Chains A and B, each alone.
Chain A
């Protein structure tokens, strides 16, 4: 197509395969005399495009046109009003309108502020869009344009000259000859690539013992979230307390969160401790990891009558009296049990860390 354009400009060369277009090319004088609409149609013809008008807008001055105009203008007017309303709500709050800051029991405006902003801005944008669509639908002609399909491969002359441009350009850079430039550039490119790889290093880390150990160890007290230790007399039968290890920022360690549960009296007789964990409980107190063995969610929906612990994420259920064995849902392993005893002052302490890693399985977990 561009060749045609050049052909018109230079008036000498007549190369190209755009059949039927070169004979349409007008002279300079003809071009100057054409209207915008005629130029538009000429451009379409040169592009092998045919425009079919399906329907025209209502004739100028008709009632239908006036009505369409009013509809479009109404939409744009509403968009304007809502945009102004947005500005008024935004700047007016706290000035001539009530303060926007939300306050419990405060003015209703505080609760309405955000919705009002959304409503006014949303309405302004929506009415602008509706107006544009109405405008296009009711006041513009509806046309369908069809364009002829060109042949598959490019003209051999075009292909050869394009290739020549690239290769000649590369030759002019002299990279093939200036070995030192080429090699140093390769060096710089490689080093920059290495530089981009460095941040990835932070993502690759050997976890060490972090996955299999928690901060619990022998003699570490069980603390509440507020840092107070727990005595057996503090909890009533059928209660649960979330406890953390008595170490620095222990209540911020996600893997150390533990549920200390005191069973109901009748549940004590139903205890069936798993092998090797018979002495993990202290009388009617049991402590289990709060991290679900399926996907690591906090499991603290404790049903004190049924003795079940529920996980809110995927509905796994664990039965406390049987070593927190999973009885429902996707979790396959029991919640790890923390062995507990009392220290000299009568507060609960851990007897050791959990006997197995807490939380979901990972690649080299032993069991």
Chain B
């Protein structure tokens, strides 16, 4: 065609412009495809995860509306004389309360006590996602929670925790029927979540007050205590010198008295 007869300059220019436009469009298309493909290849799960997250939040909302809404309100704002607001408490608080069976609360009382766990681990995750998505708050840590210095943990435990939880972590009484629970049943993560969130009447220990390392040291100390045997023989609940004295008075003196009567009795 180009050989047969020469074309006009205007027609040639038009065709060149069209070709340029087409090639630009193709290049743009190719770039988009490559970028999109690369993005999909580099971050394969993110789209799926986002979807899973929103599913978890949605599932958590359903669980919330079945089990928690009566006391904590339809918008997590709390209901006066029933339950506190959950806005900003974070997943750490949810994990502690639900995984120890304290929530959902069976009935109003002086305090929520440890009990049978109502939800499965997956459901707890969903509830955590729902609360975390609405107001944020302290999140759970990961990794080895006993990764701390044992002796330093002991010092910190005695300074910050032992006044209520007893020097051996066996808990103790508070006012009006409340108590500081025995720590021997608590898992590492539950202890960490409790320090972060300050459940019920327990003071909060934020990360600026007890650093994550210090929290791990305390957990290491408490769990080491709980797992160790009693080197002095019978632990008697490790509740301290008073029950030990009671035992020696009642048991020891009883045995001595029986011995005295036996020696003095006539043959």
B198, A304: Cβ atoms closer than 8 Å: yes
B residues 146-192 with Cβ under 8 Å of A? Answer: 155, 159-160, 163-164, 172, 174-175, 178, 180
A300, B163: Cβ atoms closer than 8 Å: yes
CB distance from A284 to the nearest CB of B (A): 13
Q: Does B2 contact A (CB under 8 A)?
A: no
Partner of A133, one of B163, B208, B263, B266: B263
28 contacts between A and B (CB under 8 A): A104-B227, A105-B228, A110-B231, A111-B229, A114-B231, A114-B232, A114-B233, A115-B232, A137-B267, A138-B267, A225-B155, A234-B206, A235-B206, A235-B209, A236-B204, A236-B206, A236-B209, A239-B198, A239-B205, A300-B163, A301-B172, A304-B198, A304-B203, A305-B200, A306-B175, A308-B175, A312-B172, A315-B175
CB distance from B138 to the nearest CB of A (A): 9
What residues of chain A lie closer than 8 Å to B224, measured between beta carbons?
104
Q: Does B121 contact A (CB under 8 A)?
A: no
Give complex CA distance A142, B229 in Å: 50
Partner of A238, one of B175, B203, B228, B262: B203
Give complex CA distance A239, B204 in Å: 5
* Residue of B163, B203, B209 ringed by the most chain A CB atoms within 10 A: B203
Chain A interface size, as a band, is 35 or more
Q: Does A203 contact B (CB under 8 A)?
A: no
CB distance from A340 to the nearest CB of B (A): 17
What residues of chain B lie closer than 8 Å to A137, measured between beta carbons?
267
Give complex CA distance A212, B201 in Å: 33
Partner of A301, one of B174, B204, B229, B263: B174
Q: Does B230 contact A (CB under 8 A)?
A: yes
Partner of A310, one of B174, B233, B262, B263: B174
B208, A234: Cβ atoms closer than 8 Å: yes
Flag B85-116 by CB within 8 Å of A: 1 or 0 each: 00000000000000000000000000000000
Q: Does B33 contact A (CB under 8 A)?
A: no
A residues 41-91 with Cβ under 8 Å of B? Answer: 55
What residues of chain A lie closer than 8 Å to B200, measured between beta carbons?
305
CB distance from A234 to the nearest CB of B (A): 4
Q: Does A280 contact B (CB under 8 A)?
A: no
Partner of B233, one of A115, A303, A306: A115
Q: Does B257 contact A (CB under 8 A)?
A: no
Give complex CA distance A279, B262 in Å: 72
Q: Does A288 contact B (CB under 8 A)?
A: no
Give complex CA distance A300, B180 in Å: 13
Partner of B201, one of A102, A104, A304: A304
Closest 8 CB pairs of A and B: A115-B233, A303-B201, A111-B229, A234-B208, A236-B206, A102-B231, A300-B163, A236-B204
What residues of chain B lie closer than 8 Å to A123, measured between beta carbons?
none
What residues of chain A lie closer than 8 Å to B25, measured between beta carbons?
none
A-B contacts at CB below 8 angstroms, number: 84
CB distance from A95 to the nearest CB of B (A): 20
Q: Does A317 contact B (CB under 8 A)?
A: yes
What residues of chain A lie closer than 8 Å to B159, measured between beta carbons?
225, 242
Give complex CA distance A233, B209 in Å: 9
What residues of chain A lie closer than 8 Å to B229, measured between beta carbons?
108, 111
What residues of chain A lie closer than 8 Å to B163, measured between beta carbons?
298, 300-301, 312
CB distance from A71 to the nearest CB of B (A): 13
Contact of A133 with B204 at beta-carbon distance under 8 Å, contacts A110-B231, A241-B209, A301-B163 already known: no
Q: Does B202 contact A (CB under 8 A)?
A: yes
What residues of chain A lie closer than 8 Å to B267, measured between beta carbons?
55, 137-138, 142
What residues of chain A lie closer than 8 Å to B198, measured between beta carbons?
236, 238-239, 304
A129 (CB) vs chain B CBs: closest residue: B259
Give complex CA distance A305, B163 in Å: 17
B265 (CB) vs chain A CBs: closest residue: A137
Give complex CA distance A17, B209 in Å: 91
Flag A227-241 by CB within 8 Å of B: 1 or 0 each: 000010111111111
